[in-house]
Amino acid sequence: MLVTCPRCETTFFLPDELFKPGKKARCSNCHNVFPLYVQPVVQPAPATEDLPPLPPGGREAGGRKVRSGKALSAVFALAAAVLLVLLGYGGYLVYGALFSAPDGTPPQAASGPGGNAQADYERRINSIALEEIRQFHVNNAAAGRIMVIQGLAVNRSDRDKDYIAVEACLLDPSNKVLAKTEQLCGVPLTLFQLQSLGVMELKEALNSRVTILTNNTNVPPGGKTPFVIVFPSPPKGVQTFEVRVIEARDSPVRRQDGQASD
């Protein structure tokens, strides 16, 4: 049943089996403790001619079938629960689609003609070229000497691209991987930022959702988006490095004759 807090007038649902007059309850809003008592509810009965026809079920009252208050409460509670689940799941899908970190695994849902997801994944990442790649060291005020790799990702396909991501590996003289990291493109950093920002501040800047959405979505054919990869504590013995594309999603918006359309 519905219970109302006498202090803040917040109304909340209490299962019937837990309602016992004389027992005390704590308000989830203001934490007020108060005794439970029966709260009579008076509702005017609607005119008979205004009652709409109802489906079978419920109990007989005045020659018409009406649903009990408990049945209606259960229906409303179930509908609210289903709505909350759907909203939560929808938010999870949107957040995951926009901001999940790429892991290099071909998306299972994105399959090309014939259902070949691997071929579709390879088509998308092979449509991105990496240019103007360079590696250098910076003396960071907080972390000391850090390694930076930067460059441009270029869309060589005939369709807009979203969320292009790259992976950088540091290799020793025998080509053994000493360190590896992944990064979404779209976030340029200045030399001043690389020198002055702390490690956590650099990470937050490189994963700025607003900047990534601005510079790494709807990248047009021939368009470029920058990338910066930072190794705060590069391992010893690094001989060379490699950078490769690990994700590039087809934009849901296609361009036709220079115009964007669905």
DSSP state of 197: S
- Give yes or no for a contact between 60 and 44, defined as CB atoms under 8 angstroms apart: no
88-92, 219-223, 252-256: the lowest-pLDDT one = 88-92
CA distance 227 to 224: 10
Which range has highest mean pLDDT (10-19, 46-55, 116-125)? 116-125
Query: Does some domain include residue 205?
Result: yes
C-alpha triplet 245, 250, 252: angle, nearest 5°: 155
User: At residue 201, does pLDDT exceed 90?
Assistant: yes
Q: What is the pLDDT of residue 133?
A: 97
Q: Do 33 and 122 belong to one domain?
A: no
Please give the residue that has the higher pLDDT: either 228 or 20.
228
Give the total number of structural domains in the chain.
Answer: 2
CA distance 254 to 158: 9
Q: Do 5 and 132 belong to one domain?
A: no
User: At residue 4, does pLDDT exceed 70?
Assistant: yes
If you average pLDDT over residues 189-216, what whole number do you get?
A: 95
User: At residue 53, does pLDDT exceed 60?
Assistant: no
CA distance 94 to 91: 5
CA distance 154 to 8: 59
Query: Does some domain include residue 102?
Result: no
**Where in the sequence is the domain holding 169, given as residue range(s)?**
113-256
46-55, 221-230, 251-260: the lowest-pLDDT one = 46-55
Q: Do 131 and 245 belong to one domain?
A: yes
If you average pLDDT over residues 172-177, what whole number do you get?
A: 94
Q: Do 119 and 25 belong to one domain?
A: no
Q: What is the pLDDT of residue 153?
A: 97
Six token digits for residue 149: 């790799």
Please give the residue that has the higher pLDDT: either 34 or 190.
190
Please give the residue that has the higher pLDDT: either 261 or 233.
233
CB atoms within 10 A of CB 54: 11
CA distance 63 to 47: 13
CA distance 174 to 112: 37
- Give yes or no for a contact between 50 and 38, defined as CB atoms under 8 angstroms apart: no
CA distance 158 to 30: 59
Among 255, 256, 229, residue whose Cα is nearest residue 243? 229
User: Which residue type occupies 146?
Assistant: I
Q: Do 125 and 224 belong to one domain?
A: yes
Q: Do 130 and 239 belong to one domain?
A: yes
User: At residue 52, does pLDDT exceed 60?
Assistant: no
Q: What is the pLDDT of residue 132?
A: 96
**Which residues are CB-neighbours of 147 under 8 A, at least 6 positions away?**
135, 136, 137, 170, 230, 231, 234, 238
CA distance 118 to 104: 11
What pLDDT digit, counting tens, does each position of 78-128 carry? 666 656 555 554 444 433 444 444 443 434 344 444 458 899 999 999 999
Query: Does some domain include residue 168?
Result: yes
Residues in the chain: 262
Q: Do 31 and 128 belong to one domain?
A: no
Query: Does some domain include residue 23?
Result: yes
- Give yes or no for a contact between 151 and 164, defined as CB atoms under 8 angstroms apart: no
Among 190, 48, 61, 220, residue whose Cα is nearest residue 127? 220
- Give yes or no for a contact between 145 and 230, defined as CB atoms under 8 angstroms apart: no
User: At residue 42, does pLDDT exceed 50?
Assistant: no
User: At residue 259, does pLDDT exceed 90?
Assistant: no
Query: Does some domain include residue 218?
Result: yes
User: At residue 136, does pLDDT exceed 80?
Assistant: yes
Q: Do 137 and 225 belong to one domain?
A: yes
2-6, 30-34, 111-115, 246-250: the lowest-pLDDT one = 111-115
- Give yes or no for a contact between 148 and 137, defined as CB atoms under 8 angstroms apart: yes
If you average pLDDT over residues 16-20, what whole number do you get?
A: 69
Query: Does some domain include residue 224?
Result: yes
Q: Which pTM was predicted?
A: 0.56
Tell me the CATH number at 143.
2.60.40
Q: Across all residues in the chain, what is the average pLDDT?
A: 77
